[in-house]
Amino acid sequence: MEGESMSEQPGQGNPSRSKSQIAYHWIKERIARQEYTPGYRLVLSTIAKSLDMSVVPVREAIRQLEAEGLVTFETNVGAQVSMVDDSQYRESMQALSILEGAATALAARRLSEDDLRKARDINERMIESLGHFDPGLFTALNQEFHATLFSKCTNPRMVTLVEAEWARLGHLRASTFSFVPGRAQESVREHENIVRLIEIGAPLGEIEKVARRHRAATLDAYLVHEHPDETLGLPAF
């Protein structure tokens, strides 16, 4: 694959890393990129062959990933990528809707025409990607879009908190777009509306409300898809 990091190439990378750590990072990167999706069976011998090492360090890596909750092990089934943790996903998405909405509003008056043009360009790339939908790519572009809008937030602590929740979501490997691709089309339309509100100098309270609701709608889409009998979602801010 083009652009592979050195850590992705067997036998290379940081020479001080043990083989188990090489295997650990190799597997974890693929889980984060959703190359190994929830429920994916991790065959130790296959991974060991790919990394040109014995099964022993791979087994140690799997144990470490299991301790972190990224991998589960079942008798007669073996190791597999853990399913999405609903409770942690909800918590992060609920926190992110509030934090990102506020950060976007606090950045709105500092965004230049170039910033808004960049946000629109990213959104256009997201629209173009809908034809051959790749949830991982779409999620990465989505993060880049929002980062463009809140990066100039007047409260740097708010930005740190938003980025921490983004990192937590990456750790959970949860992309709602993987489960509900139809949400992607709604998302890009909402993106344009957020940019337009910033562009026309709408009240900051309105910008915050729309940005917050945008994130909440993504969680709602996931809940409706995964738990159709459950009506509890985020409140309509």
- 196-224 pLDDT, tens per residue? 999 999 999 999 999 999 999 988 888 88
How many structural domains compose the chain? 2
32 and 144 fall within a common domain: no
**pLDDT score at 172:** 60
pLDDT band at 120 (very low <50, low <70, confident <90, very high): very high
Same domain assignment for residues 213 and 105:
yes
Mean pLDDT of 41-54: 95
- Quick check: 201 and 215 in contact, CB under 8 A? no
Range 63-83 average pLDDT: 85
**What pLDDT, on a 0 to 100 scale, did the predictor assign at position 39?**
81
Residue 231 lies in a domain: no
Q: What is the pLDDT of residue 171?
A: 58
The domain in which residue 49 lies consists of 19-81
More confident residue, 234 or 124: 124
Q: Are residues 125 and 77 in the same domain?
A: no
In a domain, 193, yes or no: yes
* The overall pTM is greater than 0.95: no
The percentage of residues in the chain with a pLDDT greater than 90, rounded to a whole number, is 54
Please tell me the distance from the alpha carbon of residue 165 to that of residue 183, in angstroms, as a whole number: 20
Average pLDDT, the chain: 84
The verdict on residue 168 lying in a domain is yes
What integer pLDDT is reported at residue 175 of this predicted model?
61
CA 173 to CA 179: how far, in whole Å?
12
Q: Is residue 109 part of a domain?
A: yes
Longest dimension (CA), the chain: 61
Of the pLDDT bands very low, low, confident and very high (cuts 50, 70, 90), residue 128 is: very high
3-state SS class at 24: helix
Domain final position from 61, 81, 101? 81
